[in-house]
Amino acid sequence: MDGLTEAGLKKLAGARSFERGRGYLDAVSGVEVGDGWVSASVHGTERYEAQLTLDGPGGLGGECDCPYGLEGNFCKHLVALGLTVLARPASLPRQRKAARDRAKDLDRWLSARSKDELLALLREQVDEDRQLRRRLELRAASTRGDLTTIRARIRELLDIDPFAQYGYVEYADARAYADQAGQAVSAIGALTGSGRATDAIALAGEAMVELTRAVECVDDSDGWLGQVGAGLADAHLDACRAARPAPGELARWLVGHALGDVDDGLTDLDPLDYEDVLGVEGMATLRKLAVEAWRANRRGWAEKYLMERLAKAGGDVDTVIAVHAADLSPDGHTHLAIARELDAAQRPDEALRWAERGIRDARDPATVNTALVDYLCDRYAQAGRLADAVALRRDHFGAHRALLSYQQLRVAARAADCWPAEREGALALLRADAGQRTQRGYGGPVLVDALLDDEDIDAAWQAAAEAGADDRQWLTLADQARATRPADALGVYLRLAEPLTQQTGNRVYAHLVSLLLGIQDCHRHLGTPEEFTEYASALRTAHKRRRNLMRLMDEHHL
């Protein structure tokens, strides 16, 4: 078991996944041991297949087909498999030796068979294994140079019909379909490897079209088809590097692919990956075609993205700015993107002008991009323009009367040494809102939150009493005021605790106990601890069957 230890598993998985893996020990089944690997099924949200590599080139490793594992992570299912193996230390060496012996025995037996016997065995497997049959058919067609047959087989592999009910592949069948589609990628790669890269280029492009059509009818929640698409992109690039197609023709195909409806993000094909294949001539054609397409449709998302990508790769900041400037958003988001590009190019004065223009161009102050406001305020602070930062925060607060914008105004005004005056104006707006019941879609008046955040407890209590408050605000008020206003806080705690005594559940019990601690503290400040004792005793008597509640009360000596 070299390399397989609890410490090794924890190092690969991280503390969180390692601890979660401990909870899956009972979910491991069908453990199979090979010479250098161990595999099993692990039943989580779904059944996943996990395999540990015991002594690979990099030491201990593993793969799992759960979503987290597919991202290259050492997941909790692999941890569970590893811990299961470690729980049987004596059996693993014996099982590995048995696997080696079985492999040697099989190899000797196969070596002793005649050609006819081996063909009979293979034909038997071909009859039973559809995927094997298709792989061999593709190899045979490739050897014959039969492009028509290869094309037909690849289309069969990408056909959803065998997996679809009512024209749609459900989640449970998506993995099987993706495995079959992956065979098409392998076949295209094999063509390149056998010296037929030109055919591979054509078939990869056609397969991208077929796969994009198919994905509309597949529940690909786990991203299986995304992996197939990425494989197709790699196969196409490899084929182009081997075949060296005409640069101009390849450039036109790449632009058409990037701007058309074929890809839909599935292959994530990047034209710049082909720079070594395109050469100077092809890259010039690519840029020319991209510019023409963008000029014809300056607001097209794909056209803008391609132009921006090419301009950034060439270090052409002015073109990047021109692309953004041709389609400015009314909230200033695009202005901010331009400002950041200019900052990266060491052109801060231009960046500042674009950011300020974003504020001026905004049609409605309430829709101004918050990140643009933050950017400008940071720039103003760095330049010592504190009054400008306060003015911008004041306008933003006027349009967004929320606790966060109040806090941001306070920071800016304190830096400019004018918070008392700004605070009075801001609170006047919040009082007007509270008086007119102009509240958020949820929660109580922002006025109460602002006063609480200012630690002005008496004013916050008065505002809550006059304008109302939600339970969260009342609880915060009680927590902050129970030392100075214990009677008022006690009333809040008792009111909030009453409905919880009629509910069950550990979260309810935890909340109730926290309120009981507040009630106890209020009675302590009031000098009436005996009243709390009577209250807690009555609660215990009424709810003695709720064992978890009683346990929590015991833990807190209530």
The residue assigned the tokens 């196409």 is: 236
116-144: per-residue pLDDT in tens? Answer: 888 888 888 888 877 677 777 776 776 66
4-22: per-residue pLDDT in tens? Answer: 889 889 989 998 899 999 9
Tokens of 248: 């101009």
For 544-553, what is the mean pLDDT?
92
For every residue of 196-250, DSSP letters joined together read -HHHHHHHHHHHHHHHHHHHTTB--TT-HHHHHHHHHHHHHHHHHHHH---HHHH
Q: Which amino acid is it at 45?
A: T
Q: Are 137 and 153 in contact (CB under 8 A)?
A: yes
For every residue of 308-325, DSSP letters joined together read HHHHHHTT-HHHHHHHHH
Looking at residue 169, the DSSP 8-state letter turns out to be B
Looking at residue 443, the DSSP 8-state letter turns out to be S
Q: How far is it, in rounded angstroms, from Cα 204 to Cα 208? A: 6
44-87: per-residue pLDDT in tens? Answer: 777 888 999 887 667 888 989 887 887 778 999 999 999 998 98
pLDDT at residue 264 in the model = 56
| Residue of 510 and 36 predicted with greater confidence | 510
Tokens of 458: 């008496």
Q: How far is it, in rounded angstroms, from Cα 264 to Cα 257? A: 9
pLDDT at residue 479 in the model = 95
Which runs of consecutive H residues, i.e. helices, occur in 112-166?
A: 115-128, 130-144, 147-157
pLDDT at residue 204 in the model = 93
Q: How far is it, in rounded angstroms, from Cα 393 to Cα 395? A: 5
- The region of weakest confidence among 35-39, 108-112, 429-433, 496-500 is 35-39
Q: Dihedral of the CA atoms 91, 93, 95, 98 (nearest 10)?
A: -140
pLDDT at residue 142 in the model = 66
Q: How far is it, in rounded angstroms, from Cα 219 to Cα 222? A: 8
Q: How far is it, in rounded angstroms, from Cα 52 to Cα 69? A: 12
Where residue 168 falls among pLDDT bands split at 50, 70, 90? very high
Q: How far is it, in rounded angstroms, from Cα 42 to Cα 68? A: 14
- The region of weakest confidence among 181-185, 292-296, 357-361, 484-488 is 181-185
Nearest to 212 by CA among 269, 132, 250: 269
196-206: per-residue pLDDT in tens? Answer: 899 999 999 99
Where residue 92 falls among pLDDT bands split at 50, 70, 90? confident
Chain centroid offset of residue 63 CA: 20
Q: State in Å, rounded, how far the first CA of the chain is from the last one.
A: 52
pLDDT at residue 103 in the model = 80
Q: How far is it, in rounded angstroms, from Cα 524 to Cα 312? A: 67
Residues comprising the chain, all counted: 558
Where residue 437 falls among pLDDT bands split at 50, 70, 90? low
- 3-class secondary-structure state, position 341: helix
Res 373 pLDDT > 90 = yes
Q: Which amino acid is it at 310?
A: L
239-270: per-residue pLDDT in tens? Answer: 999 999 999 999 999 999 888 855 556 777 88
Q: How far is CA 543 from CA 513, 536, 539, in A?
A: 13, 11, 6
Res 1 pLDDT > 50 = no
- Inter-axis angle of helices 197-215 and 224-243, nearest 10: 160
Phi/psi region, residue 181 (left: phi>0; alpha: psi -120 to 50; beta: rest), is alpha
Q: Are 248 and 201 in contact (CB under 8 A)?
A: no
Cα atoms found within 13 Å of the Cα of residue 306, Cβ hemisphere only: 30
Tokens of 430: 């919040």
Tokens of 377: 């305020």
Looking at residue 273, the DSSP 8-state letter turns out to be G
Tokens of 138: 């593709």
Tokens of 357: 């223009």
Q: What percent of the chain has pLDDT over 70?
A: 96
| Residue of 59 and 465 predicted with greater confidence | 465
Burial of residue 235, with CB atoms counted within 10 A of its CB: 0-12 exposed, 13-18 middle, 19 or more buried: buried
For 137-163, what is the mean pLDDT?
82
The pTM assigned to this predicted structure is 0.66
- 3-class secondary-structure state, position 87: coil
Beta bridge mates, 61: 53
Q: How far is it, in rounded angstroms, from Cα 345 to Cα 364? A: 30
Asked whether the CA dihedral 36, 42, 44, 46 is positive or negative, the reply is positive
Query: What does DSSP say about strands 59-64 and 37-43: parallel, antiparallel, or unpaired?
Result: unpaired
Nearest to 429 by CA among 458, 461, 397: 397
Query: What does DSSP say about strands 28-33 and 37-43: parallel, antiparallel, or unpaired?
Result: antiparallel
